[in-house]
């Protein structure tokens, strides 16, 4: 470590008071520490109590990072109309979702089907004794493991959920001595992470105890780790839209309905064939999905890991599909996701709580439906733009607007800029230079 | 649509003023509209100008969704010490990153290697004429396409980047008439989405024109879409740590170093073997990665789609790997990601801008290194917990603290709650009931 860098390390940081953390950071890394401190503190909530709650969600928190909280109204899903809260920093996403929602509202809306809501967890262990002992005893091991969890699962059982099954999986062809217990759970309206992980850690204790008993050997097995799996292919929802091809209309006067339908289906087939396209295609779906996941206090890393792993069954491919049959255009999204509407941050984060109220306090299945519909809407709008007008014109306009806002351009300057950049690439520097020139001329 | 639901749809929403949007939403969907409006408005920034900038990032924005902005100090990466900004709503992530950073700081720190920074884009098209004409002319098509883009790429060329290559890919074995131009780009310190997409849309125009010319047929080809690919396997970084096994020490007194090293490697091998474990393992890596991606104004959906697609080459597998050789423990993360430190939100979002300043204004390659190091640190801390103490004890404590904060428990009540929930599952309802009982007793 260079000598000057030693001043950049710190001990006992986590126990420092928030103001002292900010002060240390500002003085150590910034040339304008006072301004940095003022700026970070300007994002604190005016109520100390509220801010304390926000600070508690993570560690070493010094401020709030503001993400845009927007609304996509007119979502007709399974016959019910929603105004969907979306938290996303990328432009055009909320506009696209809203536009697709409105389009499908007059064409029957979105329909969804919940395949199942089964969650999974795993106890990974090495079994050094005779394999036969393990397989012979697995039924009784399973009963004991479930029984030992009865206190832990009592509440979840009362809510209609609990431990569903335990399965022994032999991985010894891939790694010596490696076995796994794959457990399935129903966690009702909660995402269930705490419940599942507590059960699994108890399973591990019981497994060790019982394995030791039946083999008479304290070294018969070693539990490596016990943790839920974010890959829950059975906790899945299918969202779909369909209409007569003629009813697809003529988007921005770009092409007639049959051509559009065929080009749209081609684009989906391309995403099914080519992983390089599929990644981007699915990324667009998650633009919509993650925005609702964030808004409702759910965990987008979990949702992404699950969906991409599902997309990777076989060759990595598209999560949405399209069919044209007997004059009907059908488009659907088939996607696993584990979300909760109770527990976690759902009732702790003030805006996440309001988001769920805005959705009229859905259960987990209804939230899965809403999220999948938004993902499908997002994908519809993106592919529609791609196969008709292209996306750049719209994107460039949004980007230019943001930069003009930032540079506090007047209305006249903005008008001039829009005209100037009509056929040019928008960049922060290019816009700043343009404004400087315009302003110099005026002076 | 049910009659009552008609009142929940709205026309012309996007053109309404922000206050009117909030008012409509609050009156239509809430029983306490005044309180909702007050609450949403309480999250606006005190400066109208600043708020206008934030509102402009997305559409139909009505408030800011506060995400915790935290700090992970003591990250020694390639000999330089960083205090890393992290934006994450999940507890334990920043604590874990900080703990792993401090651990490796005294063991040589993180080393990284940038493999390449090549970005990709695609023009997807159907070619109805003789395939031979296309392949025979591709070299001249390529030259023409690049030439027609010279105005667009002039600025990027000046910055040392630009269009690198165009490749023709024949997909006709998978879909009739389907070909693709896969273009590669160097976009220097920008993520480059606007540049790439503008080039691609120009390629598409030129391709159509030239294809029509060489075939003498206006229907010889049809461009389906032109768009960047988020899958950039060559835009990749490898982050690693290593030390003597003895130097791994004894984490929380749980086991001696050699046992720990072996158990740790087993856990990584399990994530390499089993997609159900790999999804969760990689999810943990993205807990760290996305937090820095968000803090620096980059796009986590793009980063996730890219990394998971890379993890899915062959069978979906772990992005990190571990080796024990000649008494040395080595652990590394091999991950593609396309990030920018100029353009996009990086200079527009006030806190993202401060995040980059805190990192001392890195270029894109340095930011890739920092992000990968945080992902590796996160993974190290998570797997270390899993193979030693388990994660539940720590998680439950954090969760309990959050709920107690929310319920405004006194210090005495909190102490009682921690003792009571020592061996019980923490849930919002259980804690509320516990507090109510305690409070009733006092009354």
Find the mean pLDDT for residues A387-400. 83
Contact A71 B312 (CB under 8 A): no
Q: Could you give the CA distance from residue A212 to residue A72 in angstroms, rounded to a whole number?
A: 57
Nearest to A348 among B174, B266, B402 (CB): B402
Active-site option among B395, B397, B401, B420: B395
pLDDT the model gives residue A347: 87
Instruction: Give percent of chain B with pLDDT exceeding 90.
Output: 86
B274 pLDDT more than 70: yes
- Kindly report whether the global pTM for this prediction surpasses the value 0.90: yes
Q: Locate A293 and state its tokens.
A: 């996941």
Chain A contact set for B62 (CB, 8 A): 69-71
Find the mean pLDDT for residues A371-399. 91
Q: How confident is the prediction for chain A on average, in pLDDT?
A: 95
Mutate to test the interface with A, among B305, B310, B358 (most CBs of A within 10 A): B305
Sorted by sequence, the CB contacts under 8 Å of residue A163 that are 6+ apart come out as: A146, A149, A153, A183, A184, A185, A199
Domain B119-229 carries which CATH code?
A: 3.30.70.420
Q: Could you give the CA distance from residue B102 to residue B98 in angstroms, rounded to a whole number?
A: 6
* CA-based nearest distance B31→chain A, Å: 10
Residue B281: closest CA among A194, A436, A231: A231
Topology annotation, domain A69-116+233-389: 3.90.770
Backbone angles phi, psi at A264, to 5 degrees: -65, -50
B2 pLDDT more than 60: no
Contact A428 B98 (CB under 8 A): no
Helix (H, G, I), strand (E, B) or coil at B45: coil
Chain A contact set for B71 (CB, 8 A): 13, 21, 25, 60, 62
Contact B66 A66 (CB under 8 A): yes
pLDDT the model gives residue B428: 81
**Which residue does chain A place closest to B276, by CA atoms?**
A231
Contact A89 B28 (CB under 8 A): no
* Burial class of residue B417, CB neighbours in 10 A (0-12, 13-18, 19+): buried
Kindly report, residue by residue over A38-87, the tens digit of the pLDDT: 999 999 999 999 999 999 999 999 999 999 999 999 999 999 999 999 99
Kindly report, residue by residue over A187-227, the tens digit of the pLDDT: 999 999 999 999 999 999 999 999 999 999 999 999 999 99
Find the mean pLDDT for residues B277-301. 98
* DSSP letter assigned to residue A337: -
Kindly report, residue by residue over A28-50, the tens digit of the pLDDT: 999 999 999 999 999 999 999 99
| C-alpha distances out from residue A211 to A133, A218, A423, B255, Å | 9, 8, 72, 21
Name the region of B2 (left: φ>0; alpha: ψ -120 to 50; beta: rest): beta
Nearest to A171 among B198, B274, B345 (CB): B274
Q: How confident is the prediction for chain B on average, in pLDDT?
A: 95
| Domain ranges for chain B | 3-55, 69-116+233-389, 119-229, 395-442
Active-site option among B27, B131, B175, B283: B283
Contact B69 A47 (CB under 8 A): no
Nearest to B347 among A30, A348, A428 (CB): A428
Q: Could you give the CA distance from residue A344 to residue A191 in angstroms, rounded to a whole number?
A: 8
Residue A308: closest CA among B268, B280, B302, B312: B312
Q: CB–CB of A183/A122 below 8 Å?
A: yes
ipTM of the complex: 0.95
Domains B69-116+233-389 and B119-229 share a fold: no
Residue identified by tokens 């091991």 is A141
Residue B125: closest CA among B18, B17, B226: B226
Mutate to test the interface with B, among A20, A49, A53, A66 (most CBs of B within 10 A): A66
The residue that leads in pLDDT, B375 or A394, is B375
Q: What distance separates the 2 farthest-apart alpha carbons in chain B?
A: 92
Active-site option among A34, A89, A90, A209: A90
Cβ burial B251-273 (10 Å sphere, 16+ → b, else e):
beeebebebbbbbbbbbbbbbbb
Contact B1 A392 (CB under 8 A): no
Bridge partners of A332? A240, A321
Contact B68 A89 (CB under 8 A): no
pLDDT the model gives residue A3: 55
Is residue B102 among the annotated active site residues? Answer: no
Q: How confident is the model at residue A389 (pLDDT cuts 50, 70, 90)?
A: confident
Q: In A88-118, which ranges are E strands?
A: 111-116
* CA-based nearest distance B269→chain A, Å: 8
Kindly report, residue by residue over B24-43, the tens digit of the pLDDT: 999 999 999 999 999 999 99
Sorted by sequence, the CB contacts under 8 Å of residue B314 that are 6+ apart come out as: none
Sorted by sequence, the CB contacts under 8 Å of residue B341 that are 6+ apart come out as: B189, B190, B296, B356, B361, B362, B363, B364, B366, B367
Is residue A283 among the annotated active site residues? Answer: yes
Kindly report, residue by residue over A110-152, the tens digit of the pLDDT: 999 999 999 999 999 999 999 999 999 999 999 999 999 999 9
The residue that leads in pLDDT, B121 or B1, is B121
Q: Could you give the CA distance from residue B231 to residue A150 in angstroms, rounded to a whole number?
A: 46
Is residue A148 among the annotated active site residues? Answer: no
Mutate to test the interface with B, among A64, A89, A350 (most CBs of B within 10 A): A89
Find the mean pLDDT for residues A6-22. 94
Q: How confident is the model at residue B149 (pLDDT cuts 50, 70, 90)?
A: very high
Q: Could you give the CA distance from residue B361 to residue B220 in angstroms, rounded to a whole number?
A: 49
Sorted by sequence, the CB contacts under 8 Å of residue A384 that are 6+ apart come out as: A100, A251, A260, A264
pLDDT the model gives residue A400: 87
Bridge partners of B122? B182, B227
Backbone angles phi, psi at A142, to 5 degrees: -55, -45
Q: CB–CB of A338/A193 below 8 Å?
A: no
Cβ burial B204-241 (10 Å sphere, 16+ → b, else e):
bbbbbebbeeebeeeebbbbbbbbbbbbbbebbbbbbb
Helix (H, G, I), strand (E, B) or coil at B78: coil
**Which residue does chain A place closest to B46, by CA atoms?**
A42
Q: Locate B359 and state its tokens.
A: 């990192």
B443 pLDDT more than 50: no
Q: CB–CB of B39/B338 below 8 Å?
A: no
Active-site option among B48, B89, B90, B246: B90
Lowest mean pLDDT among A309-313, A356-360, B3-7, B325-329: B3-7
Contact B426 A58 (CB under 8 A): no
pLDDT the model gives residue A247: 97
Instruction: Give percent of chain A with pLDDT exceeding 90.
Output: 86
The residue that leads in pLDDT, B418 or B177, is B177
Backbone angles phi, psi at B156, to 5 degrees: -65, -40
Active-site option among A55, A186, A290, A299: A299
Is residue A281 among the annotated active site residues? Answer: no
């Amino acid at each position: 470590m260079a000598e000057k860098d030693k001043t950049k390390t710190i001990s006992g940081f986590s126990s420092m008071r928030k103001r002292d953390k900010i002060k240390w950071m500002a003085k150590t890394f910034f040339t304008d520490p006072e301004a940095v401190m003022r700026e970070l503190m300007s994002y604190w909530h005016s109520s100390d109590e509220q801010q304390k709650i926000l600070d508690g969600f993570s560690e070493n928190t010094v401020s709030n990072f503001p993400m845009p909280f927007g609304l996509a109204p007119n979502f007709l899903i399974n016959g019910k109309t929603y105004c969907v809260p979306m938290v996303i920093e990328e432009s055009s996403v909320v506009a696209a979702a809203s536009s697709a929602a409105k389009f499908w509202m007059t064409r029957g809306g979105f329909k969804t089907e919940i395949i199942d809501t089964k969650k999974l967890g795993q106890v990974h262990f090495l079994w050094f004794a005779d394999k036969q002992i393990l397989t012979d005893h697995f039924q009784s091991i399973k009963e004991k493991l479930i029984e030992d969890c009865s206190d832990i699962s009592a509440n979840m059982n009362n809510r209609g959920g609990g431990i569903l099954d335990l399965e022994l999986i032999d991985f010894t062809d891939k790694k010596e001595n490696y076995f796994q217990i794959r457990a399935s759970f129903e966690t009702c309206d909660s995402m269930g992470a705490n419940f599942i992980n507590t059960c699994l850690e108890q399973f591990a204790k019981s497994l060790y105890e019982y394995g030791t008993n039946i083999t008479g050997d304290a070294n018969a097995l070693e539990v490596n780790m016990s943790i839920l799996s974010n890959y829950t292919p059975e906790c899945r929802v299918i969202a779909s839209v369909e209409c007569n091809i003629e009813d697809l209309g003529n988007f921005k006067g770009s092409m007639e309905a049959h051509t559009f339908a065929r080009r749209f289906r081609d684009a989906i087939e391309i995403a099914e064939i080519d992983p390089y396209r599929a990644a981007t295609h699915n990324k667009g779906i998650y633009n919509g999905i993650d925005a609702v996941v964030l808004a409702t206090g759910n965990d987008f890393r979990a949702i992404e890991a699950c969906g991409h792993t599902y997309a990777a069954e076989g060759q990595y491919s598209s999560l949405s599909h399209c069919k044209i049959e007997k004059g009907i255009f059908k488009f659907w999204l088939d996607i696993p996701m584990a979300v909760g509407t109770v527990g976690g941050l759902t009732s702790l984060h003030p805006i996440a709580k309001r988001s769920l109220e805005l959705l009229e306090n859905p259960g987990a299945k209804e939230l899965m439906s809403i999220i999948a519909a938004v993902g499908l809407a997002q994908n519809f709008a993106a592919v529609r733009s791609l196969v008709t007008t292209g996306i750049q014109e719209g994107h460039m306009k949004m980007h230019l607007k943001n930069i003009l806002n930032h540079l506090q351009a007047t209305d006249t300057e903005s008008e001039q800029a829009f005209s100037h950049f009509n056929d040019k690439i928008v960049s922060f520097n290019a816009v700043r230079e343009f404004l400087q020139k315009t302003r110099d001329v005026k002076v």
